[in-house]
Structure 1
Amino acid sequence: MSHPWRGWCLLRPGLLLYGGTVGRNALHAHHAVQLIVSAEPFTMADAQGERLTTRIAVIPPDTRHAVLTGAREALLAHLDPRSSPGRSLLARSGTGCEASTWSPSVTRTRDLPVRGSSAHAVPEPAHTSPRPGQHEGVRPLMFTEPPIGHARSAEATTALRVVEVWTGHSAADSIPLHPAVEAAITVIPTLLRRGPVRLRTVADAVHLSPSWLAHLFSAHVGIPLRPYVRWLRLQRAIDLVAAGETLTAAAHSAGFTDSPHFTRVFRHTFGNAPSELAAAIDWLP
């Protein structure tokens, strides 16, 4: 059974954020770390049939799971497992691969709206201090807010705050981007149009060593350069599909070999085919 997506999506490098209805679906897995925050209880099961009923779940990457009973109002965040927020979410939640450990331990609740203007009690993670190696004060680019004026911008901004709290990347003030990282972000789209993007090519373009650029890029963007490039390709392709392009045209324009290649990468990352999302989702810029 396919996932009945009905709601809105915000796609950023390293993050797919969804707000809306969570329905039943079949056993599946995705490479992303998934955070589900719901206004009402929902029930999930793992590959062994063990069940969990909760309002908060963190599903580790490549872990088979199914939604048995959905929820009308929910937030789903898919984070790249190699990103600093993705790693931090797993570490802070203390969840494992079994259904009984998908519900994180919590110490208190805090009123954070899941969707719209109504507030719901959303548990905070038990650990709120930065993890070792975490760059305090850095708010990765995956948390940049949508432009003001979109009908869903307020909902998406609130949802980003929820994800920031759970990942520990909720600093009020961001450290400005390093000039070389800013230059790399500017040059990568041009390189993407020419073919594969190599770390050394980007480093040469911004006059840094590959190792130093890799360090700065992960710290300021929140995700290593290679998965960042893959997410840019996914974002470009799904933007084109949402705009009415065929899967084949969108895949080629985004640098995938063909539409099956794009679909495989998208399904492996998010657990759904892009065609399942295009018609039912309000995409935020």
Structure 2
Amino acid sequence: MTVETWRGWCMLRPGLLLYGGTVGTNRMHAHHAVQLLASAEPFTMADAHGALLTTKIAIIPQDVRHEIREGARDTLLALLDPRSSPGRALLARFGPGDTAASWSPTVRPASAEEARPFRFGAPPSGHTRAAEATAALRTVEAWTGHTAADGARRHPAIEAAILVIPTLLPKGPVRIRTVAEAVHLSPSRLAHLFSAHVGIPLRPYVRWLRMQRAIDLVAGGQTLTAAAHSAGFTDGPHFTRVFRDTFGNTPSELAAAIDWLP
């Protein structure tokens, strides 16, 4: 049976967007995040070529187009920053590719002894969903574990650029020349190093940061329009288009169905 709606709770932490509940269908989309999807019952996904995968566990790399054809209840969905320790570790452990056949894990998750508690922040205490959030965080930690991926280091100028870019988001378009001047590189050198060290060109990376910022503001109680402007989108329709391309749904479709945890 196809589950047409999304309904559950959602929690934001640095490097992590965590969702628990009913996962419905969505449209073909891609996001700059490593995705872990685990459910008590089978769900069906499709890749950009139309190949299908029916499974209870799926791991999808960043920037890979996919869609959910048939959803499931009692599902955990985690979106991990690919630069983060758990994001890199998840990719290192399972090595998924751009085809549906590669998204079903073939390696066991880390054991409790191997798992490492990443700094996502403590779950909310006293909230009605606190126990669910705690269990979900432990599940993500168990699946990511700790590997040599944690030893990766980036160029100092790229580390500086990653700190500078968020400060530019509310001011409108983020120009590569502006970022390059801030980190004392030429635009062409910055563009090359950024793609090499972050794994994505600067422009789509900025768009992903805007999306995260807008989601955070909506979670904090702002309207979709106010969140769109505060995150640097030109207007509400622009935000909606980018959101649909990123998550396969409109922001209004998900905002009304999600209980945002603090």
Structure-1 residue corresponding to 2:99: 96
The Cα of 1:269 is off from its aligned counterpart by: 0.3
1:114-129 equivalent positions in 2, closer than 5 A: none
The Cα of 1:184 is off from its aligned counterpart by: 2.1
Residues 206 and 161 from structure 1, CA distance in 2 versus in 1: closer, same or farther, beyond 3 angstroms? same
Q: Deviations over 1:221-263 (max 9, x none)?
A: 5544222211221122222222222211211121112111101
Which amino acid is 2:9 matched to? Answer: G
Q: Deviations over 1:113-132 (max 9, x none)?
A: xxxxxxxxxxxxxxxxxxxx
2:204 corresponds to 1:202: no
Q: Distance in 2 between matches of 1:62 and 1:200?
A: 30
The Cα of 1:8 is off from its aligned counterpart by: 2.5
Q: Distance in 2 between matches of 1:230 and 1:45?
A: 25
Which amino acid is 1:18 matched to? Answer: L
Q: Distance in 1 between matches of 2:110 and 2:237?
A: 43
Give the conservation status (yes or no) of the 8 Å contact 1:145–1:157.
no
Give the conservation status (yes or no) of the 8 Å contact 2:35–2:79.
yes
State percent identity of aligned pairs. 46
Structure-1 residue corresponding to 2:19: 19
Give the conservation status (yes or no) of the 8 Å contact 1:19–1:74.
yes
Q: Deviations over 1:112-162 (max 9, x none)?
A: 6xxxxxxxxxxxxxxxxxxxxxxxxxxxxxx97323464467556545535
The Cα of 1:275 is off from its aligned counterpart by: 2.6
Residue of 198, 201, 204 corresponding to 1:227? 204
Residue of 252, 257, 260 corresponding to 2:229? 252
Residue of 74, 77, 86 corresponding to 2:76? 74
Residues 102 and 183 from structure 1, CA distance in 2 versus in 1: closer, same or farther, beyond 3 angstroms? closer
Structure 2 unaligned spans of 5+? none
Aligned pairs, how many? 242
- C-alpha RMSD of the superposition: 4.2
Structure-2 residue corresponding to 1:161: 141
2:146 corresponds to 1:147: no
Q: Distance in 1 between matches of 2:198 and 2:69?
A: 31
The Cα of 1:21 is off from its aligned counterpart by: 1.6
TM-score by length of 2: 0.69
Q: Distance in 2 between matches of 1:207 and 1:18?
A: 36
Give the conservation status (yes or no) of the 8 Å contact 1:197–1:229.
yes
Structure 1 unaligned spans of 5+? 113-142
My pick for the range that moved more, 154-163 or 189-198, is 154-163
Structure-1 residue corresponding to 2:66: 63
Structure-1 residue corresponding to 2:259: 281
Q: Deviations over 1:157-208 (max 9, x none)?
A: 545535645xxx8447555665433432333233323321122221111112
Give the conservation status (yes or no) of the 8 Å contact 2:38–2:58.
no
Q: Distance in 2 between matches of 1:8 and 1:254?
A: 19
TM-score by length of 1: 0.65
Give the secondary-structure state (helix, strand or coil) at the position aligned to 1:93: coil
The Cα of 1:265 is off from its aligned counterpart by: 0.5
1:236-251 equivalent positions in 2, closer than 5 A: 236-251=213-228
